[in-house]
Chain A
């Protein structure tokens, strides 16, 4: 495949702590093609943000990549040192985080932040950069962009700030955007606006997007493929419609059945017993087995199969056996 933008192979992230070496990301593989959106879902602590941060090379020490490969447009980036990685990050990877204020400098007008980023990564003149900054703000739907470039981040509402961050992430025309819960802090109506914006930009420019969220609804409406993570491992990976309507991993099946919509009012919700284990107390074998309705001896003894990017869908010895 030539249009693969991001390819992650057997990525493992380790954190040495006093409870032992934790593995918030364990042998994870995934791929995103040009113009596609990959949704990454999972419970809190499943390792979604760790995966995203590993890809953009911004893991907080002591967390570090201890194995696997990350390829961006056919170039390996996990082995890059700080400076070249910084260049890749600005130019080829854009970032959008949950809290827009973490990506904006509170002391600089937003226009300056945009032009600065462009001048650093694109070969253009200052006046051209300013023109493009205005265009970028217009594109993300900031009214009166020509005047607003002089405004500071705190003069915008939460939704508007997130638009500015998206403009900032996209201004150097990256081929990949990693968006970590970009709409979690926003209201439904604003969320709908932001999602529509991301989808449009992705389609128009052919940008690949890694969309991290815990909201299955957002994934369903936005993503082309979905990766379901559980306790640091890939549980299920596949086209969004297949995974959501005919999940084969017992965890995904339970998850889909426990969403209130599935019960259609009044009826009891299907519940998965227990909670995701902490990384310090992962059970032997498959991490999901204590909560799994179809767990067998093999699941308690052997770790679940590792899912390669092109392999089957579910990392489960008995995938699909519980019926959809």
Chain B
């Protein structure tokens, strides 16, 4: 090795291709190696590192909320109405207890409600994206590979849905579903309806991108070779094409996650989402909004900031991912 290659301490650790086989098309191997360059680009992007740490911290906080949270806001036994409206970091006038981020009207610790609220927000977000992804990827694969009138119908539905704002679609679905659920089950069902509503409003992105990528892959010769060897359409879609279109899917999934979290918050804020018995960040913001002008600003501010940090960090992470997986943009 020449002197110039030294000082490359951030060389990717696992990259078998770099050392073994000779090959004269370095540029092609370049893009292939994107996988192993992943960590490298990550370390070089402060935005990605910060977003990742913020997102990771928030997700861990939510997942481990029962361990972390000073109070369980859903356990009435731990609540003390006397603690109501404590200011952040100030001892409560009656009980002398100190709450980092203050308490709400019922004496619930805002920090704890945020941690628990994030659980709902993240659960709805992940589940909605998973649902949208499965639906969108499946329909996109079919539209792209089978094409014909089936593909045309799928894509027309997608086009029509795109002309409505996603949140409107979600509200519509939410409204319809609500009409069909019996009153006593509404709170219980609300979360699932929310997931389906948001999922249905977001599958289009997946379907469009997967369809486009599928049509590109379909024209490639490895797919023709598989057809020639008697592999059926299903086998080709799942075993051959799917692994090759997952890159863009991952990007959209991340960006959709941010959108889904915001959509959930919006719906809950409008009062059509998560019920007060299972408050998400959106529900907390709605509740907090009522106290803004009476001086209890912390009930609104902290959940809002958390939502912003969560959505922004996930979104920035998605942007970074898109740039890494698409070297042409660099």
Q: Which A residues are closer than 8 A to B by beta carbons?
A: 18-21, 43-45, 274-281
Interface of A is mostly: loop
A278 contacts B5, CB within 8 Å?
no
CB of B95 closer than 8 Å to a CB of A: no
B14 smallest CB distance to A (angstroms): 14
**A-B interface contact total, Cβ < 8 Å:** 42
The CA of A20 and the CA of B19, in the complex, are separated in Å by: 14
The residue that A20 contacts in the complex, of B4, B22, B25, with Cβ under 8 A, is B4
B22 contacts A275, CB within 8 Å?
yes
22 contacting pairs across A/B (C-beta < 8 A): A18-B8, A19-B11, A19-B18, A20-B2, A20-B4, A20-B5, A20-B8, A21-B2, A21-B4, A45-B26, A275-B23, A276-B22, A276-B24, A277-B22, A277-B24, A278-B23, A278-B24, A278-B26, A278-B29, A280-B26, A281-B19, A281-B22
The CA of A303 and the CA of B29, in the complex, are separated in Å by: 26
Which residue among A19, A43, A45 has the maximum number of chain B CB atoms within 10 Å of its CB? A19
Residues of B contacting A276 in the complex (Cβ-Cβ under 8 angstroms)? 22, 24
Asked whether A44 and B8 contact (CB < 8 A) given A19-B18, A20-B1, A280-B18, the answer is no
B327 smallest CB distance to A (angstroms): 13
- Nearest-CB residue, chain B, relative to A277: B22
A93 smallest CB distance to B (angstroms): 25
CB of B40 closer than 8 Å to a CB of A: yes
A19 contacts B22, CB within 8 Å?
no
CB of B10 closer than 8 Å to a CB of A: yes
The CA of A18 and the CA of B38, in the complex, are separated in Å by: 13
A40 smallest CB distance to B (angstroms): 17
The CA of A277 and the CA of B1, in the complex, are separated in Å by: 14
Residues of B contacting A279 in the complex (Cβ-Cβ under 8 angstroms)? 26
B7 smallest CB distance to A (angstroms): 9
B117 smallest CB distance to A (angstroms): 42
The CA of A186 and the CA of B263, in the complex, are separated in Å by: 53
The CA of A115 and the CA of B236, in the complex, are separated in Å by: 53
Q: Which 3 A-B pairs have the closest CB atoms?
A: A20-B5, A21-B4, A45-B24
- Nearest-CB residue, chain A, relative to B5: A20
Indicate with 1 or 0, residue by residue over B2-44, a CB within 8 angstroms of chain A CB atoms. 1011001011000000110011111001000000010010000
B244 smallest CB distance to A (angstroms): 24
Indicate with 1 or 0, residue by residue over B24-68, a CB within 8 angstroms of chain A CB atoms. 111001000000010010000000000000000000000000000
A63 smallest CB distance to B (angstroms): 12
Residues of A contacting B5 in the complex (Cβ-Cβ under 8 angstroms)? 19-21
